[in-house]
Amino acid sequence: MQGKRVLVGISGGIAAYKVCEVISTLAKQGVAVRAILTDSAQAFITPLTISTLCRHAAYTDASFWQAHDRPLHIELGEWAELLVLAPLTANTLAKLVYGMADNLLTNTVLASTCPVLLAPAMNTDMWEQVPVQRNWQTVQTQPRMHTLAPGSGILACDRVGTGRMAEPVAMLAQIESLLYTSGQRDLVGKHLLISAGGTREFLDPVRFLGNPSTGKMGIALAQAALHRGATVTLVHGVLDTSIVALEGVQTLAVTSAAEMQQTLLKCFPNADWTIMAAAVADVKPASYSSEKLPKRSLPSSLPLAPVPDIVAELGALKQPHQKLIGFAAQTGDIVTPALEKLKQKKLDAIAANPIDQPNSGFGSDSNQAILLDHRGRKHVIAPCSKLHMAHQLLAFIHAI
């Protein structure tokens, strides 16, 4: 993200306050951020606030009419690698559809060629009006336009319904994706099946064998695939409850390895690529008690039974048009066991993932890996965000 250039266009809506977090986070990550406020936006948030967060003067329509070496909208349009319009009002949406340019923001959109991320926000009744919905569908036919549909909940007007602007965490994820891909949708038409999170194998209703997986890597893979145009199904075990919901992704929750096996086998025939990022148990208690065992009744040694080897089963079922990718979470030598797993389970590629390195593996927001494929290719992913790693993995698979 360091040195990337993002131009944020703020229209008049109460959701403008959410944009402050987006701008602040981007600036802290080393992104060069510039912002344009429409006249109505300034009724909700001041240019001083935005300029302070950007570490650069904010632009308004007053700036538009001042003398510049080059026309300001041309300069800004050429400068930006990504435009983010948030909140996008019904008024600005209509202008985008009809190519209108009556202020600095809309002139800059027309003077740019980079991807544009749209995050609308408005009252539910406004959002559901036929002209607004028609404009929303129309603007999405423009190849440059990428969208974050509004969510549902209680609005500033106390109405409960659709119209809430996407949360900053979702906006930041899509901004990172767009800066990586430059807006390329290279997975359109692909159906990706992704597993995530840890499974739990219960001894009784309150005790289980598990692992520290939070599902963050699988979530990042689902986000990256969705941002690149894929249809995504996410089969997940236990996830970090702080992880944002994935709008546009089909999510199927499971608990045990057996439930994950059943769900994945059902979904697998329709998948073009299957990525097994879940931390699935290897064993389970040999017996299960439907009632909580008293402490005095707990066995001094716990008999274990194997659970299904889901990856091997999918490898045996894989068709020529399908790709199956695994993960190998390892300590020490990560390559040798990963290569063995790649061959034994008939994988197309595998991510050898060190879990004994700082800021990588379970629960971390960052990760690193060595990618290996069945033809002997190798790609090293240096420590980076899990979303960045997800994009590198998807690019690696695409090249197979």
DSSP string, 92-121: HHHHHHHT---SHHHHHHHT--S-EEEEE-
What residues contact 160, with CB distance under 8 A and at least 6 apart? Answer: 124, 152, 153, 154
3-class SS at 259?
A: helix
One-letter amino acid for residue 377 of the chain = R
Provide φ and ψ at 139, rounded to 5°.
-65, -25
d(CA 319, CA 40): 56
DSSP string, 42-100: GGTS-HHHHHHHHTSPPB-HHHHTS--SS-HHHHHHHH-SEEEEEEEPHHHHHHHHHT-
Say if CB 298 and CB 206 are below 8 A apart. no
List strand residue ranges (DSSP E) for the chain, in order: 5-10, 32-37, 82-88, 116-120, 145-147, 151-154, 160-164, 191-196, 201-204, 207-209, 231-236, 250-253, 273-276, 283-285, 304-306, 323-330, 349-354, 366-373, 378-385
**Active site includes 54?**
no
Say if CB 229 and CB 185 are below 8 A apart. yes
What residues contact 292, with CB distance under 8 A and at least 6 apart? Answer: 204, 205, 206, 207
d(CA 215, CA 383): 18
3-class SS at 6?
A: strand
Pick the catalytic residue from 20, 54, 157, 384. Answer: 157
Q: How many CB atoms lie within 10 A of CB 70?
A: 9
* 310 is an annotated ligand-binding site residue: yes
* 341 is an annotated ligand-binding site residue: yes
* 308 is an annotated ligand-binding site residue: yes
* 345 is an annotated ligand-binding site residue: yes
* 284 is an annotated ligand-binding site residue: no
Tokens (6 digits) for 238: 């236990």
Q: How far is CA 152 from the centre of its chain?
A: 19
Say if CB 109 and CB 116 are below 8 A apart. yes
Instruction: Determine how β-strand 151-154 pairs with β-strand 160-164.
Output: antiparallel
Mark the binding-site residues for CTP, compressed into ranges.
Answer: 282, 292, 308-311, 327, 341, 345
Positions marked catalytic: 157
Mark the binding-site residues, compressed into ranges.
Answer: 282, 292, 308-311, 327, 341, 345
